Amino acid sequence: MEFHVITLFPEMFESPFRGGMVGRAIEQGIIVVKPHSLRPFGLGNYKQVDDQPYGGGSGMVMRPEPIASAIDAVKAEHPNLWRILMTPQGAPLTQHKVRELASRTPGLLLLAGRYEGVDERVRAMVDEEISIGDYVLSGGELPAMVLIEAVARMQPGVLGNAESVIEESFSSDLLEYPQYTRPEEFRGARVPEILLSGDHGKIRAWREAQARKRTAERRPDLLGRRRP
Ligand code: ADE
């Protein structure tokens, strides 16, 4: 699966994807992450990409022409990418949405705008708009990276263990149960006996009950939308 990003800061995409699971998936050719600089598509000698808002106000707004040219250029080489504008005004990025995006072959074209905004006419150039949460960042680059990380790890072969995708938090709309590793006792806190019992049926039931309890305490909103 391919992830293309139109951005004013392509260098931001270098180190975050060098290590970890996504880095390995890139090395193995399972995924491709390719930033495309918006700057060369800017207007005039100064390669201008933004301008003052009509009607006044603070901040700059990204002009539509450079973005349209950049999208056309990427499209010419990589047709059929699903186009997404990263914006706080978009639909929330949930695990459900992540799974949906993971099936959008051959890949995604993410548009990382600046937070003051892009010209309204840019909205017509994308297939959907996505927000990574109800807070504001200065640009769409980090949100694009968050989306890439979440979608990339759903690709077959990226995670070591296919089961871990299924068991994870939010995939079943429950938070994760408490996990323990060695030692059996740490500063007076013992690992729950049941986990040492070797009784896999009981362990599964305990984990399920713990996951429900934790979800009820911390994220009751998730229980409401849980599928039976
Ligand atoms: N750009 C700025 N803030 C954002 C957010 N929360 N989600 C997506 N894109 C953004």
**31-73: per-residue pLDDT in tens?**
999 999 999 999 999 999 999 999 999 999 999 999 999 999 9
Average pLDDT, the chain: 94
The pLDDT of residue 182 is above 60: yes
C-alpha–C-alpha distance, residues 87 and 91, integer Å: 9
Residue 161's pLDDT is 57
Rounded mean pLDDT of 98-116?
Answer: 95
Helix, strand, coil percentages, rounded to 5, for the chain: 40, 20, 40
The pLDDT of residue 163 is above 80: no
Beta bridge partners of 109: 4, 83
User: Do 138 and 115 form a contact (C-beta atoms < 8 A)?
Assistant: yes
C-alpha–C-alpha distance, residues 10 and 64, integer Å: 19
Beta bridge partners of 6: 36, 111
Kindly give the number of the ligand 1 atom that is closest to the alpha carbon of 113.
1
**In angstroms, what is the span from residue 88 Cα to ligand 1's centroid?**
4
CA distances to 29, 75, 106, 109, 130 from 78, rounded to whole Å, are: 17, 5, 9, 9, 21
Closest residue to atom 7 of ligand 1, CA basis: 131
Closest residue to atom 4 of ligand 1, CA basis: 88
Quickly count: other Cβ atoms within 10 Å of residue 115's Cβ.
Answer: 15
